[in-house]
Every structure is written in C-alpha cells, then in structure tokens.
Structure 1
Amino acid sequence: MKSNLLSRNVIILSLVSFFTDVASEMLYPVMPIYLSSISFSVLLIGVLEGFAEATAGLSKGYFGKLSDNQGKRLPFVQFGYALSAISKPLLVAYVFPLWIFFARTLERLGKGVRTGARDALLSDEATAATKGRIFGFHRSMDTMGAVVGPMLAMVYLAYRPEDYKMLFLLAFLPGVLAIGFTFFIKEKRKEKPQAISKTKFLDFIKYWKQSPIDYRKLVLPLLIFTFFNSSDVFLLLKLKDAGLGDTYVIGMYIFFNLVYALFAYPMGSFADKWGMKRIFVFGLFVFAGVYLGMAYADQLWMFVALFILYGLFSAATEGVAKAWITNISLPKDTATAIGTYTAFQSIGALMASSLAGLIWYSFGPEYVFMISGIVVIGVAVYLIVKMK
C-alpha cells in the first residue's frame, strides 16, 4: 500500500542497494592500485573508466525506455544487480587489458540495466507526498554501503597487505546477498502495453521532446550543474595537495559518506514537507559554499567542516532530484524519465571531470573549485525563478 511509507519493496530494494554498494566500495579505494599493479598506465586507467562510465550512461537511458515499453521492472533489477556482482571476481580472473575492459564495463552495464527500473519501482511505492522520504531512505541505505565497504577493505588490507585478488573475490559475497534479496521483491501487476514497440538504443533521446515542459525546465539546469560537478576524486586530490596522508584521505571519504547516509532520509522528509525545490536549491547553495571554501582551505579542521557540508549537500540533492523528476513525469514513463536524466548525467559527469582535470593542470586547483561554485549559484537562482 502506498500509505505504508516504508513498504516491503522499499526496504528490500534499499537492502539490495546497501549490499551492492558494500561490494563496490570495498574495491573503490584499491581499484587504481590494483590496475597499476597489473601494469595499467594512468592513461589506460582513464580510458577504461571513461569507456565504462559512457557505457553505464547510455545504457541507463536505453534500459529505462525498454522497461517502460515492456511494462516490467523486476527482471531489469535482478539482471542488473547480477551483472554487477559477477563482474567482481571476473576482474581478477585474468590480467589481459581487453578482459579487464570487459569485466569493468560489465559492472557499469549492470548499473545501467537496473537504474531506471529500480527507481520506477521505488516511485510505485510512494505518493507525491512521500517521494522524498522514500528516495531519501533508499539513498541513505545505499550510501551506508559506501561507509561499510571501504572500512571492510581497510581492515582486510591491514591484515593482508596487497592481497587485492582475494579482496575482489570477497566482494562477490555481498553482491550475492544483494541478488538473493531481489527475489523477495513483489512487482505490482500492470496492464500489458497494447503494442510493444521495438526499442532502439537511442530511443530514450526522443523522450526529451515528448516529455512534460516541467521535466525539461528541471532537467536542463540539473545537467548544467552536472557539467560543473566533477568527480569526488578532485576533492580527495585537494586533500593530498594540502599534504594529508592516505589514511586521512580515505578516512575523510568514509566520513563524508557517513554524513550523507545519516542526513539523506531527513532531507527527503523535509522535501516532502517544504517542497522539493526548496531543499534542492538549499543543497546547491551548500555545494557552492563547499567548493568556494575548497579553493582556499589548507587546514584539517577546514576540510572536516567542508566535508560535513558536502555530505549535507549530497543528502539534499541526490534522492530529492529523482523524487522531483518522478513527480513531474507520467507513471507510464517513470523509468524512461529517470533513465534519460541519469544517462545525460553520466555523460555530463564524464565531461565535467575531463574539464576539471584540464583546468587543474592549466591553472591550478583553486580555479576548479571557484568556477564550479560560481556556476552552481547561477543554477540555484535559475531554479528559484523558473520552477514552481
């Protein structure tokens, strides 16, 4: 029942995301180190990650559209999480570059397959008045996996230094748990589409012209924001640039995710109570403050304060953006609407990181953060003026 805020499906989907993120984040801090240990150059690592992210981005749009066309959610969710789990042990099966490309791309493809359908399932469990809380709870559980995963990796590597292969194999276990939980999800019966049209790979792009005007008015500034929201790696690089050691850097990453996880559900609740726009715009102003602060921060206490605020920004925007989008799109197009947004978002994030890297190299890190902070203030003002 939609009146039951945290329904069975919401809790199970959140547990699935939690265990999947535990598996992924166990490997996130050591992935570059492992790739370097098997003779991957920095350039090749960059090409690998760019190709994998592009695959994830485009596939989110395609499989979101396919899910809507077929009127099914659960098969996409199960298959997507299965691909991500299987990819973990495959990454250490062989060290050939083509094999590594295949395994890493398989992991990101899994994310593309499941994202639109999973978010549509979450949307089906909510009303317009409870979307923020439901997406916020899901983001909270998902992000808690990003706290537990790196901590498990740190503990394991403290006892078994450089034993990366076994760590990749162990990461398969929470992935299997995630797959197991998907079999407890009950998809609500829907009327089958009268005619299932053949879905082409880039069909989701057509949705942009067919979508409600409010969808375009919202997603356009969100994508502009994405172009200036570079990878969190640049925040961690700033810590290294200020002279902090690896333990502090990894610890700060875990700390950020903990703040994010703790505040995601309350921020979703506030969004339901006070409006999606107010909370999202608040998050953008917090982001601008963090990035402008990062341009000049050089002390540990400054970084701690800024990472607390950065966790607050993520809590106020990630789940809220998806909840907002599902509220202004038709139920029959929910997966397509989310898939189209996240597809463009993934491509924009890739471009943002490339641009940030170029600015960092050419002018220095302070310009990366100042430019992003100023642009995001403009995006926030646009949303205040243009959106209801």
Structure 2
Amino acid sequence: MNKTAIISRTVWVLSLVSLCTDIASEMLYPVMPVYLKEIGFSIAAIGILEGIAEAVAGLSKGYFGTWSDNTGKRMPFVRWGYGLSAISKPMMALLTYPWWIFIARVVDRTGKGLRTGARDAILVQESTPSTKARVFGFHRALDTTGALLGPSLSLLFLYYAPQQYRQLFLWAFIPGIIAVALTFLMKDTGAKSQVKKQWPSFKSFYQYWLQSPSAYKRLTGALLVFALFNSSDTLLLLKMKETGLSDTALIGVYIFYNGIYAILSYPLASIADKIGAKKILIAGMVLFSIVYAGMGIGGNIIWYLLLFLLYGAYAAATEGVSKAWIASIVPKENTAAALGTFSGFQSIAAFLASSIAGLIWVILGASFTFILSAVVSLLVVIYIYRKTT
C-alpha cells in the first residue's frame, strides 16, 4: 500500500469491481420477483428460493473467510467470487426450469460468500488505523453508486423493451464480466499463512465466534440483535405502496435513498476516522430509530422522502463504519474470518428479520412492526454506548 495515499490504487480498483457488480445485481433487483412469477414460481416458492440462497451466502462467508486467512491468499477468493456472481446472470435467462433457477441463485450467493471476507480483508490491509473507516466508506460509496445506477438502467431498458426480462438478464452479464476483468489489475499481497491446515471444517462458519476476543463478541452481538429487527427494505416500500404511492414513485424514492447513501458514505467515514467509529455508528442507529418510528406514523410523498433522506444517512453511517470498527478489534491474521463470520451471521439475521417482521405485521399491524424495531434499536444503542470501547 502507498502510505501517502488514503485511497490506494488497489482500493480504487476493488471499489470499481464492486460498483460494476452492484450495477449488474441491481439491474435485476426490481424485476426478479416479476420474472420468477412469469416463469411459473409461486410467491411461496420465491420466498423459499430467496431464503435458501441467502442462507447459502450467510453460511459460506465465515467458512471462506477462514479459508482465506488459513492460506494467506485473497485474490483467488475475490476473483472466483465475483466470477460466479457474473455467470449467474445469463444462467437465469438461458433456461427456466425450477432446478436450474435454483442452481443459478445458489451460484450467485456462493460467489458473494466466497469474496466477502477476503475482499474486506484487502480493504483492511490497504488502510491504516487512522484511515480504516474512510477506506471502507469509499468502497461503500462506489458500491452503492452501483445500486443507484442499476435500477436506473433497468428502468431505461424496460421503457424501450417492456417485459423483456430475459434480455435484461443477458445485458446484466456485461457489467458483471467487466468486474471480473478488473480484478486482474490487482495482485495478491496477503501475508503468508501461519496456519498449516488450509481446508477449514464446515463448522468454520461459526467457529471464529467461539474463539474471538470478548470485544468482538460484545460489538457484533449487539449489531446482530439490531439486524434481527432491521427488516428488508421491501417492507418499507410495501408500507409506502399501501398509502397510495405509484410504482414509479416507489422506485424514485428507492433511487433517491441509494443516492444519499452513496454521497454520504465517504464523508461520514472520514468523520468516523477523526472522532471515532463508535460515535458515528451510534448516531446512524439513532437515525434508523427515527426513520422506523416515522414509517410507523405514515405520511405523504414528502414525508417519505424526508425519511429516506435520513435512512440513506443511517446506512452511510453504519455499513462501512461497523466493518472498520470490527477490523480494529481483531488480530490482523484473522481479519477475513472475523468480517466473514459477522457478515454471514448478519445475512442470516436479515433473513430472519424479514420473516419476523412479516409475522408481526400480519398479527399486530404495520405501525406496531416499525415502532417495535425503533424501540429495540434504541436499546441496542444504549448497550453499545455502555458496553463497548
């Protein structure tokens, strides 16, 4: 790493890789449920498919993160991870048999599991203690820019080619393969492994948690409780839909949110490097509480734009900053395992959160669902303030 540069060449390239990959993924995000229904999937089958896919991603992150640490190598995991995600896009369009679609989704999520821990370890390696949050924030900013451009390109394509979903999947392969090509501009500079065993056991997806420092357990434990009450953004969009907003307005609000997220990620990370990750993370989680309480109240399009402005700020203040904080409290040689394990548990918690929120919504109503999440998040804030350093 060039110590004189806050953002090194490697971080730039890796961030561009994430940007291209997110463009490919987010091009398909708005149409995936519609496409699956069109080729014969029921709502229940879609739920099962996505649940299994996310479970694969979650369980594999800790495993492959540990494997990366054991071998001391990063780039093979990064290249294969992004490569699998890229080839999954045209796979979805070539055949429409249920088992084939299932394989394609598992391939995509396995790719995410492969790359996550190793990629985050590279970001840590390319930073210093005083720039760690900024490096993660910069990467998150470009990644989220992909989430902004992807749906926009999808809307543009479908405007000129309505319902041509299979063609859209093929077009999404282009940014995906560009991402893979960019990975060859990076070299593997990971430290040599001090561990003789290179193939971790299956239980590695949770094993690091058992042997991790107490500071890691306290912080990630609190963040995982928070994740259990942080349901899918789909429920936020559904809440707005129930108040009468059009589909165009919903997508517009979602794009607006991603724009705020991308714009604020690096500035808030810079502040975190100066005043501490803990303060920025807590501030972000307080914003989350405000947003969810506001969703429980409801309102018009202006109200929701204000809430999603705050929601974008919350995301920018927490995603990269939390990883930077975690990386600062674990041994360097365990970085990929620590971040991969946390990301894996976080994926599983996110899946459970949407299931729990959906059940509470049906039984007690939308307002109670959002307000409960707001209250629990404030309790987590209090715990992090008092019990972490």
TM-score, normalised relative to structure 1: 0.99
Contact 1:61 1:202 in 2 (8 A): no
Q: Counterparts of 1:206 and 1:86 in 2: how far apart (Å)? A: 31
Query: 1:31-42 alignment to 2 at 5 Å?
Result: 31-42=32-43
* Aligned residue in 2 for 1:144: 145
Gaps of 5+ in 2: none
Q: CA deviation at 1:75?
A: 0.3
Gaps of 5+ in 1: none
* Aligned residue in 1 for 2:67: 66
Q: CA deviation at 1:105?
A: 1.1
Q: Counterparts of 2:346 and 2:334 in 1: how far apart (Å)? A: 18
* Aligned residue in 2 for 1:329: 330
Q: CA deviation at 1:197?
A: 4.4
Q: CA deviation at 1:209?
A: 2.3
Q: Counterparts of 1:248 and 1:196 in 2: how far apart (Å)? A: 53
Q: Counterparts of 1:133 and 1:284 in 2: how far apart (Å)? A: 19
Which stretch has the larger CA shift, 21-30 or 202-211? 202-211
For the pair 1:242 / 2:243, whether they are aligned, the reply is yes
Q: CA deviation at 1:363?
A: 1.4
For the pair 1:350 / 2:380, whether they are aligned, the reply is no
Partner SS state of residue 342, structure 2:
helix
Q: CA deviation at 1:2?
A: 3.3
Partner SS state of residue 23, structure 2:
helix
Q: Counterparts of 1:13 and 1:92 in 2: how far apart (Å)? A: 28
Q: CA deviation at 1:97?
A: 0.7
- Give the total of aligned pairs: 388
Residue identity in the other structure for 2:108: E
Query: 1:1-388 alignment to 2 at 5 Å?
Result: 1-193=2-194, 195-388=196-389
Contact 1:252 1:304 in 2 (8 A): yes
Residue identity in the other structure for 1:350: F
Residue identity in the other structure for 1:284: M
Q: Counterparts of 1:2 and 1:377 in 2: how far apart (Å)? A: 38
Q: Counterparts of 1:107 and 1:191 in 2: how far apart (Å)? A: 29
TM-score, normalised relative to structure 2: 0.98
Q: Counterparts of 1:189 and 1:78 in 2: how far apart (Å)? A: 15
Q: Counterparts of 2:262 and 2:97 in 1: how far apart (Å)? A: 37
- Identity across aligned pairs (percent)? 52
Q: Counterparts of 1:149 and 1:259 in 2: how far apart (Å)? A: 15
Q: CA deviation at 1:273?
A: 0.5
1:52-101 Cα distance to aligned partner (Å, 9 max, x none): 00000001011001000111000000000000000000001111111111
Q: Counterparts of 1:316 and 1:285 in 2: how far apart (Å)? A: 10
Q: How much is the aligned-residue C-alpha RMSD, in angstroms?
A: 0.9
Q: CA deviation at 1:193?
A: 2.8
- After superposition, the Cα gap between the structure-2 partners of 1:259 and 1:189, relative to the gap in structure 1 and judged at 3 Å, is closer
Partner SS state of residue 121, structure 2:
helix
